[in-house]
Amino acid sequence: VVNQGAKFSHLRFSMEEERAHLRLCLPSLLEASAFLCALPAAIMAHDKTGLLAGLRVDPTTKVLANEPGVSHRVHLDWKGGDQNLRMVTCILYLNAEDFSEGDAGALRVFHDLAPEEGSAVRIAPPPGDAPHTDLAPLCGRLVLFLSRRVWHEALPATRDRYGMTLWVPALPP
C-alpha cells in the first residue's frame, strides 16, 4: 500500500527504445539508473560469504516522490514466498543539494534483523523504540541493505523527498 502523498513511477530500460526515450527525456534519471544497475556486479565481486553469489539485474528502477508529511511504516522489502526474489535493496536519494538533516524524512534502519529464511521464528516488525540508526536522505546518499532481513521505515519529511530504488533479485530457483 502506497501512502497518500507518495507518488512513484517505474523506469524500464531493458530495450533500446526505452533507453533512447529516457536518454532524450530524463537523461539524469537514466544515468542514476545505470549507476544503480552496476552495483550487483560490484557487490558480488566483494562478497566473501557467497550469500549474494546469485544476483541478477532487473532493468527497472522505481522513482519515488513523497510530499511533506508522508511516511512509510516499518517493513521488509520481501514478503516471503518464491515469487519475490529480492535480495538487496539499493536506494539513491535524489533530493535537492540543500536538503539537510533538519528537513527530517530519515530512513530508519533497525539493528535487529528479521530471521533467516526458513526459520520457524515468526516474522514481526521490531517495536518503535528498538535500537536503530536514522539516515538522512541527503542528495547523492546511497544506502544498500538486505531486502529480506533489514527492517526499515521512512519518517515524514518537512519538504518534498525524492529517491530511486533498485531491488536486486536472486536468480530464480
CATH node for 6-169: 2.60.120.620
For the chain, what are the domain ranges?
6-169
pLDDT of 103-145, one tens digit each?
999 999 999 999 877 665 657 899 889 999 999 999 999 999 9
Q: Convert 87-125 to b/e letters by CB count within 10 Å (16 or more is b).
A: bbbbbbbbbeeebeeebbbbbbebeeebeeeeeeeeeeb
pLDDT (average), residues 144-154: 95
The DSSP bridge pattern shows strands 72-75 and 60-66 to be unpaired
pLDDT at residue 1 greater than cutoff 50: no
In the predicted model, what is the mean pLDDT of the chain?
89
Cα atoms in the 13 Å half-sphere on the side-chain side of 26 = 15
Chain position carrying cell 508522508: 70
pTM value?
0.90
pLDDT at residue 57 greater than cutoff 60: yes
User: What pLDDT was estimated at residue 36?
Assistant: 93
Nearest to 159 by CA among 103, 115, 109: 103
Contact 152, 109 (CB under 8 A): yes
CA 37 to chain CA centroid, Å, is 12
pLDDT of 71-102, one tens digit each?
999 999 987 777 778 899 999 999 999 999 99
Is residue 51 very low, low, confident or very high in pLDDT (cuts 50, 70, 90)?
confident
